[in-house]
Each structure stands twice: as C-alpha cells, then as structure tokens.
Amino acid sequence: MIRTGYLRWEIEVDDRRSAVDPKARDVVFLARPSYRTVRVKNQGQLAAADKFANGEESYDTVLRLLNREASEVDVTIPDVGPRVFRYSESDRNETPRFWMVKLQREVNAFAHDVVRAAAEFPQLVISSPALRAGYARLVETEIFRVIEGRSKPSPTIETEPMQLEASAYGAGVPELVAAELVRDVVEAKEFDEFCRFDRVTVLSNGKYYRIPRQPHGMIEVWDEKTHRPEVRLCVVFQDAGMPPSDEVVMKYLLAKHTPDMLWQIGVKFSAPTGKFDGAPPRRWRTD
C-alpha cells in the first residue's frame, strides 16, 4: 500500500506470457484504491470557501453553508490501468541492462499515471507540482517493492467507505490538513519526532537532514559518521503562504529522494550549533 495525499493505493504487477506473441511477455501494472469509496464530510463548505477565495461566490454563501449540519459526499475512486509493457524474453536474458532501462521507464510512466489520476480529486490531494513529483517517486518505489516481492497488495474494500473528516474551518485549517499529510508521507518514528519536537530528521546519502516545522525554516545538515554539523540550507518555495507542515513534506521528499537537487536550490549558511547523537527520536536533543 502507498499513499498519495489521503488516497491509498494497492499496486499489482503481473509478468505473464503474451497472448499475441509467443516470444514476448507482458508486464501488467494496475493500481487499485484501498477503499473504493471515500466519504468526505462538509465538502460543500470547503468548496464554497474555495470559490469565495477565487472570487466566484460571496461570503454570505460560505456563512450559510457553515451554519448547516454536516453534509457528506461520497467520492468513488476508479482503478488506474491496467498498463501493459510488452518485452522480448531475449532482451531480458541477453541484454538485462537494456531491459531494465525500459522497465524503469515504464514504471516511472505508470507512477505518474497514478499521481495524475489522484490529482483529479483535489479534495484528497494537495495541488502542488513539487509534491506530486514526490508522490510519483514514492509510487515508483512501491512498484519495485511489489516486483521484488517485498510488498503484497491487499484487496480493495468495496463494502464500506473510508471516512475523511473535512469539517474544520478557519485560519488554522490548512496547517492541520498539512500536518495530517506529514503522517501519510513520513515513517512512524519520524512522525513521532514531528509530533513531539516539531521537526523531522531524515538520513540520506550519508547525511542527516533535520527539517523544522517553521515558515522558511533552515534545514540543518549533519554528517552521519562524525555527527558533526556541516551547513544550514535555506529553501524558499514559490508559494510564500504555504503552511509550515507542507514545507516539511516537500523538503522531506527532496532530502530523501533527490538530495542533490536540495543542495542545488538551497542557499548555504553557517553550520548549525548544538549536539546531534543520531539516536532514535526519544533521545534526540532539543538544543
């Protein structure tokens, strides 16, 4: 199972002999939602708020909807695929590197298909191109885990909906939604650190990246072996009003999957101060 925003996907990969070419094989990619139906509460209120922000509705419409009892909207999530990749067995046996390049290309394309399908539900996926690129990388990783047998898809739940509470409204809502997105993206121990210390630390390419939940907060970089501070990176996104937890997610995805890009776009400042022991979250220092 892999998540893109609030949506959960079960990835299937089947390698079988082609029915039309006896010398070829077909790799069939399929993504199924973990829940066929997502029940979103108060969706009408959020839609009215978005229209008000875009100048399409009056604030009176928003207020009238806010005074109503909670409404529910059922959103049906379709499957993505199947996408078929046909290859020659001779390619896999005689030129495995060439075959792997083609397989990588098809996996990457299908991962973007999944994210593109998820993006059709804006109430379930935050509309950020950078974040969606990170989602595609996560889906791609999950596809290879399925191919290697390290992940098994579960059946789609057709009988009951997944409940999504979207009733909160006010100035703090974007940050609350973004904080829940952090839970979906990071690992359990990293989310524990996020909850208690307002930060996430991720290990990537021999370096620890400590990402604070602060507007335009600097990323502290520490060496994995020596635990010595190296530098602080300042990364500012185009959306100046982005909730701090959204910044955490985007910086986390960059640090974990494309750290070279993080170093390219980040402005370097002097190394952080304090101590870093590299231990699990319960022993990380707050100084």
Q: Let me know if residue 201 belongs to a domain.
A: yes
Based on the domain organization, do 31 and 143 belong to the same domain?
yes
pLDDT at 128 over 70: no
pLDDT for the residue numbered 7: 83
5 burial via Cβ count (<10 Å: 0-12, 13-18, 19+): buried
pLDDT for the residue numbered 285: 40
Please, what is the end-to-end C-alpha distance for the chain in angstroms? 37
pLDDT tens string 3-54? 777 788 999 999 999 888 888 999 999 999 999 998 876 555 556 655 554 5
pLDDT at 84 over 90: yes
Average pLDDT score over the chain? 79
| Cβ proximity of 254 and 131 under 8 Å | no
pTM: 0.57
Based on the domain organization, do 135 and 230 belong to the same domain?
no
**Of the candidates 194, 195, 109, 137, which has an alpha carbon nearest to the alpha carbon of residue 2?**
137
| Cβ proximity of 114 and 31 under 8 Å | yes
- Parallel, antiparallel, or unpaired: how do β-strands 72-76 and 37-41 relate? antiparallel
Q: What is the mean pLDDT of residues 179-190?
A: 80
Based on the domain organization, do 136 and 238 belong to the same domain?
no
Q: Let me know if residue 177 belongs to a domain.
A: no
Q: Let me know if residue 125 belongs to a domain.
A: yes
Nearest-angstrom CA–CA distance, 194 and 171: 21
Based on the domain organization, do 152 and 118 belong to the same domain?
yes
Q: Let me know if residue 10 belongs to a domain.
A: yes
pLDDT for the residue numbered 2: 81
- Which pair of tokens denotes residue 139? 């889906």
Domain that holds residue 211: 187-283
Q: Please report which confidence band the pLDDT of residue 60 belongs to, taking 50, 70 and 90 as the band edges.
A: low
- Which pair of tokens denotes residue 174? 């974007």
Q: Let me know if residue 170 belongs to a domain.
A: no
Query: In the listed set 164, 196, 225, which residue is the last one of a domain according to the structure?
Result: 164
Q: What is the mean pLDDT of residues 127-135?
A: 67
Q: List CB contacts of 132: < 8 A, sequence separation 6 or more.
A: 4, 115, 119, 125
The residue among 45 and 181 whose pLDDT is bigger is: 181
Based on the domain organization, do 77 and 115 belong to the same domain?
yes
pLDDT at 56 over 50: yes
**Of the candidates 214, 202, 218, which has an alpha carbon nearest to the alpha carbon of residue 254?**
202
Q: Is 147 helix (H, G, I), strand (E, B) or coil?
A: helix
Residue written as token pair 């982005």: 242
pLDDT at 170 over 60: no
Q: How many domains does the chain divide into?
A: 2
pLDDT at 166 over 60: no
> Hey, how many other C-beta atoms are within 10 angstroms of the C-beta on 251?
23
Based on the domain organization, do 106 and 199 belong to the same domain?
no
Based on the domain organization, do 153 and 206 belong to the same domain?
no
Q: Please report which confidence band the pLDDT of residue 286 belongs to, taking 50, 70 and 90 as the band edges.
A: very low
Please write down the long-range contacts of 98-104, taking CB distance under 8 Å and 24 or more positions apart.
103/27
pLDDT at 167 over 50: no
Based on the domain organization, do 10 and 106 belong to the same domain?
yes
pLDDT for the residue numbered 105: 93
Q: What is the mean pLDDT of residues 266-282?
A: 66
Beta-bridge partners for 80: 31
pLDDT at 279 over 60: no
- Which pair of tokens denotes residue 35? 């829940």
Q: What is the mean pLDDT of residues 95-120?
A: 90
pLDDT for the residue numbered 178: 67
- Which pair of tokens denotes residue 29? 């990619």
Q: Let me know if residue 227 belongs to a domain.
A: yes
The residue among 178 and 32 whose pLDDT is bigger is: 32
Based on the domain organization, do 119 and 65 belong to the same domain?
yes
Based on the domain organization, do 142 and 244 belong to the same domain?
no
**Of the candidates 206, 213, 229, which has an alpha carbon nearest to the alpha carbon of residue 275?**
229
pLDDT for the residue numbered 280: 40
Q: Let me know if residue 178 belongs to a domain.
A: no
- For residue 186, give the DSSP letter: S
Based on the domain organization, do 198 and 123 belong to the same domain?
no
pLDDT tens string 205-246? 899 999 988 877 899 999 888 888 889 999 887 665 667 778
Based on the domain organization, do 22 and 111 belong to the same domain?
yes
Give the lowest-confidence range in 5-9, 149-153, 180-184, 273-277: 273-277
pLDDT at 96 over 50: yes
Q: Let me know if residue 171 belongs to a domain.
A: no
